[in-house]
Structure 1
Amino acid sequence: MTPPPARRRRGAAPERSYPRRGSVRRAQMITTYGVGSLVAVDNESFMVSGIDSWNVSEAPTIHEHRLARVLGVKSFRLPPASDDTSKDGVRVRRFPLWHSCPDCNALQHVRGFNSPPGKNECGNCDEELVPSRFVMACAQGHIDDFPYWKWAHRSNRQEGDSGFCGGEMRLRTSGKTASLRSILISCTCGIPEVSMEGALRRQALSGLKVFCSGRRPWLKDAPTEHCSETPRGLQRGSSVAWQPIVKTALSIPPWSDGLAARLEPYWQDLRELGADRDGVKIYLKALTMKETYEFSVDKVVALLEAENHEDVAPEEEQSTDHAYVALRKQEYERLSEGKPESESDHEEQFICEPPRSSTSPLAPYGVTGPMLVKRLREVRALKSFSRVDTPDTHADVHEAPLSLAPMDWLPAMEVQGEGVFLRLDEERLGPWARSAAVAARVERMRNNHLRMLRERAQDAQLVPESPASPRMVLLHTLAHALINEWSLDGGYPAASLRERLYADDTMAGMLICTATSDSAGSLGGLVAQGEPDRLEPALRSALTRAQWCSADPLCVESRASGVGGINLAACHACVLLPETSCEHNNGLLDRALLIGTPEDPSIGFFREALQL
């Protein structure tokens, strides 16, 4: 990462390269240290700048046509990975700007310390400065330094006084406790010393006449925006100071054989030709003189027809939310249909086959149509981010932009792996989901989720619908139980597996796939777990394990659990997973829908299979 260059005097020689300030993995630039996030490097703190300031001349391009169309970009880019001699890299800016000296306890803007050139030290004490531990941010994504002066003087000024006192701020730690009460702020104007206790409460700054500054320091030359939100104090490393909004898609036929990536520079011309097969043939013949690759007319026409089919979707599916639903439906159809390895070439990124052995052992469980996904590619793109409000799949949060001006690309990463796709029998699922006891239990979770969404929503008229339904909660909980089982039995770390749910009135399936591209990626171990002779014992073991939790009877009798009470019988001792493995942040889970409760075993979808 590289910070922006310091202002230089006229006539000075330009800098050839920017100093290096640390390094992170490419995947972390999407999930942990993306645009707008704060990165601690040694004793300094920086904010990752917008993608319009990145130097991506050497960064590989990622193509995923379906996802790019939904996000309104042409392609994706891997975050830069550069060595010490390269000028490629990601820019960062120093933030927060208020620092303190551990020796003289001075607390002020970093410019006030008269640091030596190239160093972040106190000019008087030669001690390394400590970046402010606190910042303030609002739900609109704006962020600024914490208003220490107003916090220290909030109740220590005489009525009618105005303006700054002219004193110098001091910060020290008493060391008596690890709480905020031990962090003490004072001023040389003589006010009593005050602690930081209570500074992080949601409404702590509302009574201090502290307004949002509208600053967006991750965007170069960004003007301040008018913002009516009340800012909130946060710790610099808080998880709600930066939350990524990541969108994903699987590469499925006909876009998964690499042909679309080769045609990307010429795709607009091909789209204008449309259904003119002869015109496409002539264009491709001319293209072969430029590209050392023989293009199949039939495959190119099939791509054009597939895109035209997506273009004529109903009007209600043209919104972004419905576009994501359409992506999932396309994936569900392809996973159900499959694509044999015998019909694929070596460049094919999607191979999905039924198991070789009979699936009859799975019939008692209501599991039908298992598919072994032997080759899989997933693209994860960083669309935007949020602050203060935690986003989930259906929450109404403000999405802060990654650049000041719209760009035709977004940062992304790709994962090559494998997975197992399972569906539930609709003939058994329908009557079970319509039973009064099951519907009442899920309705309780749904009401709690809707209440949480209403509290987060910026507009009461735009509260999104909760995805909670009997089949969704059942599939979600089953996926968690299987991931935990394969983690114990197959040797996979739970964090290396990931769920992908397909649940609505027309879909009832789930894909469990590898979530990392390291040694736990595509070695065939996960596909082997999908063979019926292995899957049936794994299912029985997972369901048997779900019958008892070390927190029972409190867990199974819980009326509400989890954030916002959107879980029922689910805790860290039974079905919760690392949040990187879950699509819904460990929400909307209830293992009682798998195995029933002691009072009502009938609500368990698999109760009959466990009795065999």
Structure 2
Amino acid sequence: MSRPYQELRPSQFVVTFGPGSVVETDSGPVVLKSMDTLFTEITRSPQDFEIIDDRLSRLGLDDARIARIPTNAELGLPADRAIYPTTAFPYWALCARHQPHQVLYEVNNGCPECPPAPTWKSKEKAGREAIRFVLACDGGHLDEVNWHRLVHPKGRCSTRHYLWNGGGRALRLVTLECPRCHTTANFGEAYGRPWPCTGRQPELGGRPASGQANCTRAARILQRGSANLRIGELATALTILDMPARLHNVLGDRELLGALRTLRRRGFLNHETFLEEVAEARIAPDAVQYLSQIPWRDVDRALDQLLGVQRADTVSLRDEELDRLRNAATHGAPPVPHPQLGSPPLFEVRKADIRHVPGPQGRLGLRVAPVSRLRMVMVQTGYRRLDPENGLSVTTSFDWNRTKWYPGIELFGEGVFIDLEDGDLPLTGERVAPWQSRYLASPLNSTLHPAHVWWHTLSHRLLWALSVDSGYSSAAIRERIYLKEENGVVTGSGLLLYTVQPGGDGTMGGLVGLANQFDHVLARALEDVDTCSNDPLCEEAPDVGMDGAACYSCLFASETSCEHRNHGLDRLLLSGNLP
């Protein structure tokens, strides 16, 4: 007997799937509902599974909060129990048991040419035979293909099913026929034309009434497994702390930190109330004694970093992160080295491990700071359909007790932060001006800035070079590009290459271990950067825009690695400005 569910890890839900995504199960495809239906189903509050990161909430999510997806083990349920609410989709199925045609039918009616069967068997069969085509628009809507309208554009007859004739290599060979009036329609032609959008979002429930669609965008027929059917949008933030290791380990207790955050928001947090909360917290007695001996100014400063301090709205999440990374690369973090025993810190850069690597041309010196421990919070803020650039973003947030929440995941791992020793990145050559012109035309798109293109291209070359000896595939290593501007002048830049995974144990140190031989990694990365097996097609791009001299043979990385979908790359800009 087939299982009516599909196993998903919490990280898969946030990175790949999420509300509104079509998930294939053994019993047929389903759509994941909005996340609030999950907590209603399990009769729990999102606060029970909250991920605390006030910096990300404040600077990236407009003060919304973050909740993770609970596992069956946390809820005390069997591993084969489906806990996330779904709805069957699509609603039509294609029965291939008949010759010379197949039968397209609605699930509730069952296949009219198959022997009668119990309702549950009929629906189970229909789920496995679900039609693989759906209707979607770039406004974020998703619905069934209107098969009645496709065959009967001027008004349907009383049929409830259609005959599917033909097939093979092309959709133009498929013909739909009404078994009553024998009207036919070519599916290839229907697939290529626009259709009215119904305005439906299946994760939110019911479908709009006929003729009452509120979306004016044209919809398209496409396969339900298409990569562009749902493109998730992520917001991420590193937890970078500058405090003694034990202090942030003790203050990082989830329940204690939540209580202190509530007190701070209400304006009641001081040394006295802090000690009262510590006394009531469920932490070890020696930790209580340790906190009682820390001066209040040190505790208050630590809480500023854990909970976030109010700063100007002009400060971006990335700029603040870059400042903290550069400070850690200069002084180490935390200042007091973490002991070998006890729980590890959330962020750690040992000053003794920082390396200064000269470039192969001797123009620029790179500072390489191995991050032996890092924590990243990843939040799915929304998704787009069909068009990743211009499509309308649909939020994945949900409201619970007048508070907005987003689905997120907490990841741990390691990385290597790389910046320039003197902070200056002089760029010259014929490839700089076209990128600069593009950037000035779209100043909000930092990926077009020549300095960003330089770092982004170097990042992709290093991704490949690190994967050779680190023990991680290039798809497992992620990038994070930083570019800070003030009044049109670049005041800081760099990149972080990292790998993370769920669970407090993190990763095994493969990236950090290469810091001592980073000169060899850099040399390997820049070797033959000026050539590509697809030249001259690759290097002779007619115009430098979102993509310069870059292709799958020389620069493109997997979707799990590149945060900019392989846009803003130009190996000729890098080769003309080698460090």
Q: Which residue of the partner structure matches residue 110 of structure 1? A: 107
Q: Which residue of the partner structure matches residue 151 of structure 1? A: 150
**Secondary structure class of the residue paired with 1:418:** strand
Q: Is the 8 A contact 1:26 1:81 kept in 2?
A: no
Structure 1 residue corresponding to 2:435, chosen from 421, 429, 442: 442
Q: 1:192 to 1:112 in 2, by over 3 A?
A: same
**Secondary structure class of the residue paired with 2:527:** helix
What is the CA–CA distance in structure 2 between the aligned matches of 1:338 and 1:144, rounded to whole Å? 53
Taking the TM superposition and a 5 Å limit, the aligned residue runs for 1:387-466 are 387-391=385-389, 397-403=392-398, 408-426=404-422, 428-429=424-425, 432-433=426-427, 435=428, 437-443=430-436, 446=439, 465=445
Q: Which residue of the partner structure matches residue 258 of structure 2? A: 265
Deviation digits for residues 102-158 of structure 1 (CA, Å, limit 9, x no counterpart): 225332321111863433459xxx78751122111222222110111222234xxxx
What is the CA–CA distance in structure 2 between the aligned matches of 1:153 and 1:45, rounded to whole Å? 27
What is the CA–CA distance in structure 2 between the aligned matches of 1:541 and 1:323, rounded to whole Å? 32
Does residue 232 of structure 2 align to residue 244 of structure 1?
A: yes
Structure 1 residue corresponding to 2:16, chosen from 19, 32, 55: 32
What is the CA–CA distance in structure 2 between the aligned matches of 1:164 and 1:407, rounded to whole Å? 46
Q: Is the 8 A contact 1:354 1:370 kept in 2?
A: no
Structure 2 residue corresponding to 1:535, chosen from 497, 503, 518: 518
Does residue 493 of structure 2 align to residue 508 of structure 1?
A: yes
Aligned residues: 534
Taking the TM superposition and a 5 Å limit, the aligned residue runs for 1:109-148 are 109-113=106-110, 116-121=118-123, 130-148=129-147
What is the CA–CA distance in structure 2 between the aligned matches of 1:33 and 1:552, rounded to whole Å? 37
What is the CA–CA distance in structure 1 between the aligned matches of 2:505 and 2:306, rounded to whole Å? 34
Q: 1:473 to 1:336 in 2, by over 3 A?
A: farther
Q: 1:94 to 1:473 in 2, by over 3 A?
A: same
Code of the aligned partner of 1:64: D
Deviation digits for residues 392-424 of structure 1 (CA, Å, limit 9, x no counterpart): xxx673223444766543322222111111102
Unaligned 5+ residue runs, structure 1?
1-18, 155-161, 451-462, 596-603
Deviation digits for residues 507-542 of structure 1 (CA, Å, limit 9, x no counterpart): 2100111144599962222112122xx111211121
Q: How many Å apart are 1:172 and its aligned residue? A: 2.5
Q: 1:292 to 1:487 in 2, by over 3 A?
A: closer
**Secondary structure class of the residue paired with 2:376:** strand
Q: How many Å apart are 1:62 and its aligned residue? A: 2.7
Q: Which residue of the partner structure matches residue 181 of structure 1? A: 172
Q: Is the 8 A contact 1:271 1:304 kept in 2?
A: no
TM normalised by structure 1 equals 0.77
Q: Which residue of the partner structure matches residue 12 of structure 1? A: none
Q: How many Å apart are 1:79 and its aligned residue? A: 4.3
Q: How many Å apart are 1:476 and its aligned residue? A: 0.2
TM normalised by structure 2 equals 0.81
Q: 1:427 to 1:284 in 2, by over 3 A?
A: closer
Structure 1 residue corresponding to 2:95, chosen from 95, 101, 104: 101
The RMSD of aligned alpha carbons is 3.5
Q: Is the 8 A contact 2:439 2:445 kept in 1?
A: no
Q: Is the 8 A contact 1:341 1:351 kept in 2?
A: no
What is the CA–CA distance in structure 1 between the aligned matches of 2:538 and 2:504, rounded to whole Å? 35
Q: Which residue of the partner structure matches residue 605 of structure 1? A: 577
Q: Is the 8 A contact 1:96 1:145 kept in 2?
A: yes
What is the CA–CA distance in structure 1 between the aligned matches of 2:9 and 2:306, rounded to whole Å? 34
Q: 1:298 to 1:344 in 2, by over 3 A?
A: farther
Q: Which residue of the partner structure matches residue 558 of structure 2? A: 578
What is the CA–CA distance in structure 1 between the aligned matches of 2:492 and 2:325, rounded to whole Å? 11
Identity value in percent:
27
Structure 1 residue corresponding to 2:155, chosen from 152, 163, 169: 163
Q: Which residue of the partner structure matches residue 467 of structure 1? A: 447
Q: 1:335 to 1:197 in 2, by over 3 A?
A: farther
Q: Which residue of the partner structure matches residue 282 of structure 2? A: 291
Q: Is the 8 A contact 2:413 2:500 kept in 1?
A: yes
Code of the aligned partner of 2:90: P
What is the CA–CA distance in structure 1 between the aligned matches of 2:119 and 2:574, rounded to whole Å? 64
Code of the aligned partner of 2:384: S
What is the CA–CA distance in structure 2 between the aligned matches of 1:428 and 1:326, rounded to whole Å? 19
Q: Is the 8 A contact 2:4 2:27 kept in 1?
A: no
Structure 1 range deviating more: 79-88 or 344-353: 79-88
Code of the aligned partner of 1:524: G
**Greater strand proportion:** 2
Q: 1:78 to 1:483 in 2, by over 3 A?
A: same
Q: Is the 8 A contact 1:420 1:526 kept in 2?
A: yes
Q: Which residue of the partner structure matches residue 554 of structure 1? A: 537
What is the CA–CA distance in structure 2 between the aligned matches of 1:493 and 1:49, rounded to whole Å? 33
Code of the aligned partner of 1:552: D
**Secondary structure class of the residue paired with 2:455:** helix
Q: Which residue of the partner structure matches residue 349 of structure 2? A: 352
Q: 1:281 to 1:356 in 2, by over 3 A?
A: same
Q: 1:367 to 1:81 in 2, by over 3 A?
A: farther
**Secondary structure class of the residue paired with 2:218:** coil
Q: 1:426 to 1:189 in 2, by over 3 A?
A: farther
Q: 1:129 to 1:101 in 2, by over 3 A?
A: farther
Q: How many Å apart are 1:178 and its aligned residue? A: 2.4
Code of the aligned partner of 2:55: R
Q: 1:168 to 1:275 in 2, by over 3 A?
A: closer
Q: Which residue of the partner structure matches residue 487 of structure 2? A: none
Taking the TM superposition and a 5 Å limit, the aligned residue runs for 1:318-337 are 322-323=316-317, 325-327=319-321, 329-331=323-325, 333-334=327-328, 337=331
**Secondary structure class of the residue paired with 1:359:** strand
Code of the aligned partner of 1:381: V
Q: 1:43 to 1:34 in 2, by over 3 A?
A: same
Code of the aligned partner of 1:253: L
Deviation digits for residues 193-215 of structure 1 (CA, Å, limit 9, x no counterpart): 333214344xx234xxx3x2222
Deviation digits for residues 364-408 of structure 1 (CA, Å, limit 9, x no counterpart): 2513332110111111111222222215xxx67322344476654
Q: 1:502 to 1:286 in 2, by over 3 A?
A: closer
Q: 1:178 to 1:407 in 2, by over 3 A?
A: farther
Structure 2 residue corresponding to 1:62, chosen from 48, 51, 54: 51
Q: How many Å apart are 1:74 and its aligned residue? A: 3.2
Q: 1:472 to 1:426 in 2, by over 3 A?
A: farther
Q: 1:336 to 1:221 in 2, by over 3 A?
A: farther
Structure 1 residue corresponding to 2:462, chosen from 450, 473, 482: 482
Does residue 568 of structure 2 align to residue 588 of structure 1?
A: yes
Q: Which residue of the partner structure matches residue 113 of structure 2? A: none
Does residue 204 of structure 2 align to residue 219 of structure 1?
A: yes
Does residue 219 of structure 2 align to residue 195 of structure 1?
A: no
What is the CA–CA distance in structure 1 between the aligned matches of 2:34 and 2:454, rounded to whole Å? 40
Code of the aligned partner of 1:481: R
